[in-house]
Amino acid sequence: MAVQCFWETMIMSAFVFTRRALGLSALGLTGLSLGASRPALAALAKPTDKPILTISGKITITNDGDKASFDRAMLEALGMQKFTTHTKWDNDAVTFEGPLMSAVMDVVGAKGETAQAVALNDYHTDIPISDFVQYKPILALKRDGAYMSVREKGPLFVVYNYDSDPELKQQKYYGRSAWQVAQFVIK
């Protein structure tokens, strides 16, 4: 119970800080209420630019019928995190930047246990939502300071900080690290 309250406080603080810092202009968030385990946002603005991510399935906050669509600015408004890590796809360490996957799930009110990442080439992988709290992967938009093109595994790439925990250097986690992500289906 104490851990749950701690995370509610942390998420609430992050939301209030982001809300004040951004004036809610990028996300268009208009309300806040506490749910059983995390804050729920009352509204999500529509993208003002071309959407690069769609989330559907077991979500409670939408902006496009039964889905939530995001443009780049909306994702950046969730707060950019940065880490440098070695990957199995690169010879040298790479710096990735993007919002925490937990923040992405929170803003849509995800209620499932699994997020199925679907890539532009129809590759899909199931990622336990518990990973988002335990390992803090990000939805990377940038690689070494530059936005990623489709050719460079972009526009979105689920990335774990593989150097932060030896357990993450397993095929199981590399397989969950989907690139060219276009959508998530919450199950």
Read off the pLDDT of residues 7-48 as tens digits, 9 standing for 90 and up: 444 444 444 344 433 434 445 444 333 333 344 445 799 999
The phi-psi region of residue 155 (left if phi > 0; otherwise alpha if psi is between -120 and 50; otherwise beta) is: alpha
Could you confirm whether domain 46-186 is CATH 3.90.420.10?
A: yes
Q: What tens digit of pLDDT does each residue of 68-127 get? A: 999 999 999 999 999 999 999 999 999 999 999 999 999 999 999 999 999 999 999 999
Q: pLDDT per residue over 111-151, tens digit each?
A: 999 999 999 999 999 999 999 999 999 999 999 999 999 99
> Rounded to two decimals, what is the model's pTM?
0.79
**Domain positions in the chain:** 46-186
Within a 10 A sphere around the Cβ of 3, how many other Cβ atoms? Answer: 8
